[in-house]
Structure formats: C-alpha cells, structure tokens
Amino acid sequence: MSKTLFEKIWDSHIVVDENGRSLLYVDRHLIHEVTSPQAFDGLRLNARKVRRPDLTFATMDHNVPTSDRSLPILDQTSSVQIKTLEKNCKEFGITLFDIHSPNQGIVHVIGPELGITLPGTTIVCGDSHTSTHGAFGSLAFGIGTSDVEHVLATQCIMMEKPKTFEIKIQGKRKNPHAVTAKDIILSIIRKIGTAGGTGTIIEYRGDTISELTMEQRMTICNMSIEAGARAGLIAPDEKTFQYLRGRKYTSDNYDELVNDWRENLKTDSGAKFDKSFTLSVENIAPQVSWGTNPAMTSDVTESVPFPDEYGKGNPEEVKGVTKALQYMDLKPGTPIVDIVIDRIFIGSCTNARLEDLMEAAKVVKGKKVSSKVRAMVVPGSQLVKKNAEEMGLDKIFKDAGFEWRESGCSMCLGMNPDILAAGERCASTSNRNFEGRQGTGGRTHLVSPVMAAAAAINGHFVDVRELDLK
C-alpha cells in the first residue's frame, strides 16, 4: 500500500498499538531549562530513572543572558532554573551543553548542527518549535512537561495518529534573496490560518522545496506550529545528507544509513493525504505581520487592513482584528512601509542560522542603523556565532551599530533581559507576534532577516526587492 513519508516514520516507530492509539518510540529527546524541572521532580517523586540518557540531550537557551558570559547571571530565578538543569543532567547522566559550552545554542539550532537530528527518526522536545527538525525528514514535535517526564521514564510517547496535510510549494521566486523562506511560510499561514493545520502533520512538497537550502527548509518547518500543525516534514534529499555528514554525533555507518534513507524516506506515488493546499511563489512579496497572531500578515506593498473588510462579515474576526490593531497602535489604511520601528531583533530558532546572518549582513554592509533604532543580532548558537565571526559578519553588524550578542532564545520570547519596553515597536525575525510576547506592551512585526536589516537602516519597513541583494 502506498504510504506518505509521515506514515512510514510513524509505522516504523510503533511499539504497541492500543485502542486506536500508538505507543511510539522516541529516538532523540531534547531538553532545556524551562520545561524540564518539574519532569525531573516527577521522576524523583516516583523513584524512576531516565530510561535512555544516551538518547537525551540538554542545553540552556530560553532564559540565558546574551551578554558577557563570564559575568554572573543577575536574575536569581533564571539562575536557579539554569542550575537546576545542570544538577538534573548530572544526577541522571544526561549530556548537557551548558552556558559555557562551544555547542550551546537554541535547542532547535544545535540539534541539526551536531547531527543529533537525523532523517527518519522521531524527535521530541518540550518546546513547540521542535517542528524545525522536520526539515531533515524526521518526525519532530513539541510536548508538554508531563510528556517530557513520560519520555524520560519510558523513551516512548502515547499518541493518537494525526491526520496528514500536504502543502505544495511551487514555482520560482523572481528574487529569492528578497523573497525568502520566511515569506513563504508567512504566506502559507496567512492563507490557511493559525488553526489551518490543527490535528495534522504537514508535509511540504513541490519543486520550490528542492531548491531551498537546509536552513531555509528549517525556517519553513519551524513555523508549522504557527499554522496549528504539530509537525512539518520535508523528505530528505542529497542536500540533507550532505548537511549532516561529518557532524559531531553523526554515526560511523552514515553511508549505510544514507542509502536506506534515499530509498525509503519519501511519500510513495499514489499515497493519499487527508488535506491539501498549494502555494505558488512566483508572485509573493516580502511579508510583514501587522497584528497579534502570525496570520495577520500583509505584503510589504499593502496597507494595514480595515477590520470590516478583513473580517468579511465574521463578527469574531472583525472584533479580533480591531483589538489587534488597537494593541499594535496601527490605523487602518496606513501603508506598511510607513510604519516606524524602534527596535530590531535578528534571532530565534526561525531565523538565526549562518545563512540568515549572511543575508542580513548584505543589507547592512557599509551602512548605519537609523539613529532612532536599537538593533541586535543574537546568533542561534555558539557555533553560528563563531562561523559568522570567522566570516567577519560581526564586524559588519557592529560597524553599522548593531549589538552582536551571545546565543539564546533572547527577545523571541523575552524570558531573559532582552525585552521590549511597553509601546516599543520591533521588526523581528522570530515566529510569534502575540500580545506581550517580546515584553509586556511590546509590539512585534514578524519579518525575514533581510526585511529586519533594511528596517534597521531606514527606521521603517522597505520593500527589499528594491535593494541589490545579489
């Protein structure tokens, strides 16, 4: 019988089938400081062990400061949480990339970077953006803390089988440096809505996908959760195999594995999906979110919408948009390019890998950040930071007036000191523009790294298709 890629991975990980649910084996479990302490407490309370510490990897990313790491952490509650992870990893024998490790970074950046993420595997983490790893053809999804405890104790997860959702991405972008993977995924979310993928696993397919680099594929899979899906998948190809070759945790029999993946890890022709959606990318523009969820997004050439028009008579929608615009302090009809920005954040598991920084640096090189803007770059990992510094990207950003910081989640969610003040408006390469996400009262516009960089220089949004980005 023809099967989708998801079904193949699902079926090959079933330990037990029971009353319409499956106990699935977990190949890799990633943990971080925020969603794990209560899980370890639960283990201790019930005198349980970690079943497979060798398949469990930890780092600290959510609330680590991005300033000088030789200084003590001033926030005492953050410090306790970080120390708790150190203590738990030591007690249960789990590999930890701590704040001083050259491999520390955002958990979804370091997984692929270290070769922990592999095609055809199941990966879970107590973080919704675990969907990122799906770019490698792994079935990867976020779980709550109770499930973190469950996986620590059993190396399995009990789940009802999700539905399958095919998203075809087709066509050639006229200017792929200006219209990026971020613009592709925002365009999809804008069309299918933030609950469009609820209850499903998305497989991204189509000719555009094969042209994308691994880092771009990660940006797309990363925001599957913003479309409501638990996971996003892309079938692995030669680019995938090449990316992972020779990484720290890539196994000795890698070539043997590749042969197997090449043959098996794809959706069979004739396999059926429960749902399907197609996006043609020929004419898509750089995207800018104007509201308080990621579907509230427009082309950079458009204006802030009028709630009545946008809601098309749906009173809930009209009310939601009205409230969002109130929160964002935006007047309907204002051209997106007239929106004035106070802060720039280039970072997060969505857009803080080397290529993101390289692309943003092209815009910034030889220019100065607008005098009214505070701009920061937070590399996704220490390795990204090191590689970027070897290329001289740090100098380009610093010369322009950007802050060049240590790696972590930083202002994507503002658990560390990197936050917006109330009323501040930020062009951010992160994934969520929820109320207060980057700081209470802060206003977030989601954009690509090149759009954020151009906004930093100009002090307002600009259409990056007008720049020379080659």
- Residues lying near other proteins in the complex (CB under 8 A) are found at 15-16, 18-21, 23, 25, 27, 34-35, 37-38, 41, 46, 48, 51, 62-63, 75, 77-78, 80-81, 84, 118, 120-121, 126-128, 142-147, 149-150, 153-156, 158, 160, 162, 194-195, 198-199, 225, 228, 230, 251, 257, 293, 316-317, 320, 413-415, 422, 432, 434-437, 440
Amino acid identity for residue 395 in this structure: K
**Pair type for strands 287-289 and 403-404:** unpaired
Q: Judged by CB, which is closer to other proteins: 20, or 366?
A: 20
Q: Judged by CB, which is closer to other proteins: 147, or 203?
A: 147
**Minimum CB separation from other proteins for residue 66, in Å?**
15
Strand partners, 443: 425
Phi, psi for residue 112 in degrees, rounded to 5: -65, -40
Q: How far apart are CA 15 and CA 405, in angstroms?
A: 44
Q: Which strand (E) or helix (H) includes residue 343?
A: strand 343-346
**Minimum CB separation from other proteins for residue 199, in Å?**
6
Q: How far apart are CA 290 and CA 424, in angstroms?
A: 14
**Minimum CB separation from other proteins for residue 296, in Å?**
10
Cβ atoms of 122 and 84 closer than 8 Å: no
In SS3 terms, 22-66 reads as: EEEECCEEEECCCCCHHHHHHHHHCCCCCCCHHHEEEECCCCCCC
**Minimum CB separation from other proteins for residue 287, in Å?**
19
Which two three-digit tokens encode residue 452? 């954020």
Cβ atoms of 292 and 327 closer than 8 Å: yes
The DSSP output letter for 402 is -
**Cα Rg of the chain (Å, integer):** 21
Q: Judged by CB, which is closer to other proteins: 2, or 314?
A: 314
Q: Judged by CB, which is closer to other proteins: 326, or 440?
A: 440
**Minimum CB separation from other proteins for residue 178, in Å?**
29
Cβ atoms of 331 and 316 closer than 8 Å: no
Q: Judged by CB, which is closer to other proteins: 413, or 426?
A: 413
**Minimum CB separation from other proteins for residue 244, in Å?**
12
- Edge-first strand order for the sheet with 21-25 is 14-18, 21-25, 156-160
**Minimum CB separation from other proteins for residue 311, in Å?**
11
Q: Judged by CB, which is closer to other proteins: 64, or 373?
A: 64
The DSSP output letter for 103 is T
Q: Judged by CB, which is closer to other proteins: 111, or 286?
A: 111
